[in-house]
Amino acid sequence: MRILVIEDDAATADYIAKGLGEEGYVVDLARNGRDGLYLALNEPFDVIVSDRMLPGADGLAILRALRASGITTPVLMLTALSEVDRRVEGLEAGADDYLAKPFAFAELRARVRALARRPAPQAEVTELTVGDLRMDLLRRTVTRASRAVELLPTEFRLLEFMMRHPGQVLTRTLLLEKVWDFSFDPTTNVVDVHVSRVRRKLEAGGEPPMIRTVRGAGYILAPPGAEPG
C-alpha cells in the first residue's frame, strides 16, 4: 500500500509519515502543492492525504487537477478549519473524506484504512456477510447464523456501515459522520449507546462477540476470534 502525503507543515508531515509507516504503508512526502501534484499525476498511489492550505497549489486545486486528469485515487483532505461549509466544498471538489486538524492519529488511520480498502465500484451489492452475520440490503433483514436479528432503522444503518468496513477501527467521529451525518461530537454518548444496542442484539442468542471496543479509538466489527487487520 502506497500513500502520498502532501503537507507543508514539517511536524505534521513527519507525524503522519511516521505513524502510517509504522502501520506498514509506504509513504511518499511532498512538502508543497506543486511537488504533490507532480507525484500524484505520475506515480500510482492507493491513497492521497493532502492538506487543504498549501504553498504552490492549494489542496482543492490539486484535487480538481487530479480528477480532471481522470485519476480516481481516494483523497483524504486535511484542514485547519473544521467548518461544515468548507467540508462540503472539499467533498464537492472530489475529496473522498475530510478530516479537521488537529486530529488523533487513530482517526487518521481509520479513515486512511477505510479509503485504501474501498472496493472498486462494482455491481450493486445486495448482501453483506461478515463471519456468520448476514445482511440482506434489499429485504432489510439481518441474520446471525440462522437467527433473525431485529434492528431499528438507525441500528440497521450503523451495522451496515460497520459491515462494509469489517476488521477496521471505526472511530466515533467517523461513525457519527457516516452513519448519522453528524459533523460534530455530541456531549452525550450517542455512538456508544447505539453500538452497545447493536452488540447486544447480535449476541442475544449467546453467540460470541463480534464488535470489539478499541480503547481511546473506537469500534471494530470482525468475525469472532479474527485478528483485526
Partner 1 sequence: MPWLRSFAPRVALLVGAVVLVASFLGAGWGWLRAQEALRRQLDLVLAADAEGLLRDYETYGLRGLADAAAVYARRGGPLRVLLLAPNGHPIAGRLPGAPARLRGFATLPPQEGDSRLRALGAILPDGSNLIVATDLALVDRAAAALAWSPPIAGGLAALLALVLGFLVARRLERRLAGISTAARAVMAGDLTRRLPEGGSGDEFDRLAATINAMLARIEELVAEVRQVTDDVAHDLRSPLSRLRQRLEAALAQARGPEADAAVLEGAIADLDQILATFAALLRIARTEAGAGREGFAPVDLSTLVEGVAEVYAPVAEEAGRVLRAEVAPGQRLPGSAALLRQALANLLDNALGHGSGTIHVALRPGPVLTVADEGPGVPPEERERVLRRFYRLDRSRNTPGTGLGLALVAAVARLHGGRVALEEGPEGRGLGVTLDLRAGGASTGRGLPEAPAGTRQDP
Three-state secondary-structure class, residue 67: helix
Are the CB atoms for 165 and 109 separated by under 8 Å?
Answer: no
Selected range binding partner 1 among 9-17, 27-35, 83-91, 143-151, rule: CB under 8 A: 83-91
Please choose, out of 12-20, 140-148, 181-189, 219-227, the segment that lies near partner 1 by the rule CB under 8 A. 181-189
Q: Which is nearer to partner 1, 69 or 154 (CB)?
A: 154
CB 56 within 8 A of CB 32: yes
The radius of gyration of the chain from alpha carbons, rounded to an integer in Å, stands at: 19
CB 225, min distance to partner 1, A? 27
Query: Nearest Cα to 219, choosing from 177, 173, 154?
Result: 173
15 binds partner 1 (CB under 8 A): no
Binding mask 115-154 for partner 1 (x = CB under 8 A): -------------------------------------xxx
DSSP result, 29-62: EESSHHHHHHHHHHS--SEEEEESS-SSS-HHHH
Q: Which of 46, 134, 180, 207 binds partner 1 (CB under 8 A)?
A: 180
* Residues that bind partner 1 in the complex, under the rule CB under 8 A: 81-85, 88, 100, 102, 104, 152-154, 180-190, 193-194, 197, 216
